[in-house]
Amino acid sequence: MLSLEEKIKVFKALGNKTRFEIFRNVLNSPYVCGIDTKVKSDDIVAQATCVGMIADKFNYSLPTISRHIKELKNAKIINMNKVGNKIYLEPNFKTIKEIKECFNSIANEPLANY
């Protein structure tokens, strides 16, 4: 279960228009990325060639998209899984479900509580 701080991190991550659009794109069609072995980096996001595809789609630089993807990953609303020389960007449905339940619980509270 997500802590209150983790839920706030999700809302902050999605509060940015670019991150929200990237997340919506990943939610609707997960990305498969190739690993660029020429890029020397411990940061797997920087090595993912799909970052370039996302950057082209949103007309942003690679470092900008990489930073946004990292924020979404740190907020636990997308997963990045490395399999061989591919990285899969996909929605974290566990987190999405918890956020949905959070909204549902708020919506079901009587207005007198506010």
Mapping DSSP onto H, E and C, the string for the chain reads CCCHHHHHHHHHHHCCHHHHHHHHHHHHCCEEEEECCCCCCCCHHHHECHHHHHHHHHCCCHHHHHHHHHHHHHCCCEEEEEECCEEEEEECHHHHHHHHHHHHHHHHCCHHHC
**Which CATH number covers residue 13?**
1.10.10.10
Check residue 3 and give its pLDDT.
92
Residue 35 lies in a domain: yes
Q: How far apart are CA 54 and CA 60, in angstroms?
A: 8
Residue 114 lies in a domain: no
**Length, in residues, of the chain:** 114
| pTM (whole model) above 0.85 | no
Q: Which domain holds residue 41?
A: 4-109
Residues 27-74 have pLDDT tens digits of 887 677 776 677 666 666 665 657 767 777 788 887 888 899 999 999
Q: Number of folded domains in the chain?
A: 1
Check residue 29 and give its pLDDT.
76
At residue 88, the 3 state secondary structure works out as: strand
Q: Which two tokens stand for residue 66?
A: 């990489």
C-beta separation of 73 from 84 below 8 A = no
